[in-house]
Structure 1
Amino acid sequence: MLADILARLQKQESASESGVAAAFELNWQCLEPEAKKLACLLSLFALAPIPWSLVESAASYSDLEFDLNVNCTVLVERYLLQELAEDTYQIHDRIQELLRQKLEELTEANELKRGFCQAMVAVARSIPQTPTLIEFAEATLAIPHLGETATVYQAWLSDDDLISPFLGLGRFYQGQGSYAQALPWYEQSLSAARKRFEDEHPSVATSLNNLALLYDSQGRYSDAEPLYIQALEMTKRLLGDEHPSVATSLNNLAELYRSQGRYSDAEPLYIQAL
């Protein structure tokens, strides 16, 4: 329905102003402030089905305390939001574009972006290394929105949260054996961490380690080994020899050597890890 209305409006556009933009502006002026904030929050999500539970989580992190359901109904009635199924919604691409413009006019814009990112980080951290079928199904609808967080809203991720969306996406695909889809997320995790921290942060070591684990899973041992070694050296330098992450790095490198039959190289690392 919404797509049909937008298509009809686009046919009416004049040289001076788009019919869609004009209709949108009329709708926007009729909205209460709470509905406007919810609409702007929704604009942060990707152009994909949006589970209402994710909206509620993002609203909570953004400290939006008004009735979300009432304002959701208003947005649907105003054709600014499309209901796909029970508790699942989507925004048309042109509406999203216009709402993102309105978002930048809000004094709460940064709070909404940070809240959205925090909600997505919570989802990313809940994705295990090897998802079960149930966990896979639960995470599937969130994946496009995690991608939006990692690529579009990276600047609003805190230092502690920076690589979480990338790693969540990597685990989601790697856990299914989709290594080709996991690889760019692990590579971007390393790139983002190095861009923000250079080589002086544990997130860089974690990113190196996860990329090495992916190569290891593919049997790309010659690609994995130097990354494991870099991760181990960096973890020792940043966290000290007595940190559990050092033991993990030692164990990962030992596992790589064991997989290759390099038992004399693996044994001392296993002993150090223990």
Structure 2
Amino acid sequence: MLFDHVHNIAAVFDNQGKYDEAMQWYERALTGFEKALGKDHPSTLNTVHNIAAVFDNQGKYDEAMQWYERALAGFEKALGKDHPSTLNTVHNIAAVFDNQGKYDEAMQWYERALAGREKALGKDHPSTLNTVHNIAAVFDNQGKYDEAMQWYERALAGREKALGKDHPSTLAIAECLRPFKNN
């Protein structure tokens, strides 16, 4: 479909940090998807989600939250509460709160994402482990270092099992643990 290509062009600009261009292409894709497939079609909702991510990347959290909430409502309706696309949006809502320093809200949303991802994808799936890692970071940011270390260790063990000891994602988590090991 033509609008898949339009969406992909937007994603390229998004990945380059060219947010104005990305937004123009995402809006074009959104208009096309809504007209051709409807407001609650997964392709439409993916575009809504990505528009939210552009706002999130720009630090425009109120706008990001509005778009994430729209995506979440649509994904829950179209795909269910435990579908990976729904859970990605739940995870990203948590990240918006995390980026704002709203740790209690972030933790509530990360816990929802974690429970769903463990159920839908398993404990050692990379998406599940991303949520585990982000929960560790919330504890770390709050100065709750014992809890942070437990969650970082869980993320590290899962990454080693799933990806190997030398994978860049594994090494990134090992780096997060280094300050705890040096004390």
- TM-score category by the smaller chain? 0.7 to 0.9
After superposition, the Cα gap between the structure-2 partners of 1:138 and 1:125, relative to the gap in structure 1 and judged at 3 Å, is closer
Q: Secondary structure at the match of 1:200?
A: coil
1:244 aligned to which of 115, 119, 126: 126
Provide Cα deviations, 1:211-244, integer angstroms capped at 9, x if missing partner: 1101111112121111100101111111112211
1:122 aligned to which of 2, 5, 8: 8
For the 8 Å contact 2:40–2:78, the answer to whether it is kept is: no
Match of 1:188 in 2: 70
Aligned counterparts of 1:197 and 1:165: Cα–Cα separation in 2: 15
Q: Secondary structure at the match of 1:211?
A: helix
Q: Secondary structure at the match of 2:101?
A: coil
Could you tell me which runs of 5 or more consecutive residues in structure 1 were left unpaired when the two chains were aligned.
1-60, 62-114
After superposition, the Cα gap between the structure-2 partners of 1:162 and 1:235, relative to the gap in structure 1 and judged at 3 Å, is farther
| Bigger relative contact order, structure 1 or 2 (CA pairs below 8 A, ≥6 apart) | 1
Aligned counterparts of 1:241 and 1:211: Cα–Cα separation in 2: 21
In structure 1, give the amino acid aligned to 2:105. D
In structure 2, give the amino acid aligned to 1:189. A
Match of 1:267 in 2: 149
Aligned counterparts of 1:262 and 1:232: Cα–Cα separation in 2: 19
> Which structure's residues are more often helix, by fraction?
2
Aligned counterparts of 1:154 and 1:266: Cα–Cα separation in 2: 44
Match of 1:104 in 2: none
2:79 aligned to which of 190, 197, 220: 197
How many residues in Structure 1 have an aligned counterpart in Structure 2? 155
- Scaled by the length of structure 2, the TM-score of the pair is 0.73
Aligned counterparts of 2:51 and 2:11: Cα–Cα separation in 1: 10
Cα RMSD of the aligned pairs, angstroms, is: 2.4
- Scaled by the length of structure 1, the TM-score of the pair is 0.51
Match of 1:148 in 2: 31
For the 8 Å contact 1:120–1:165, the answer to whether it is kept is: no
Match of 2:138 in 1: 256
2:114 aligned to which of 217, 232, 244: 232
Aligned counterparts of 1:237 and 1:188: Cα–Cα separation in 2: 24
For the 8 Å contact 1:124–1:168, the answer to whether it is kept is: no
In structure 2, give the amino acid aligned to 1:144. E
For the 8 Å contact 2:132–2:155, the answer to whether it is kept is: yes
Match of 2:19 in 1: 136
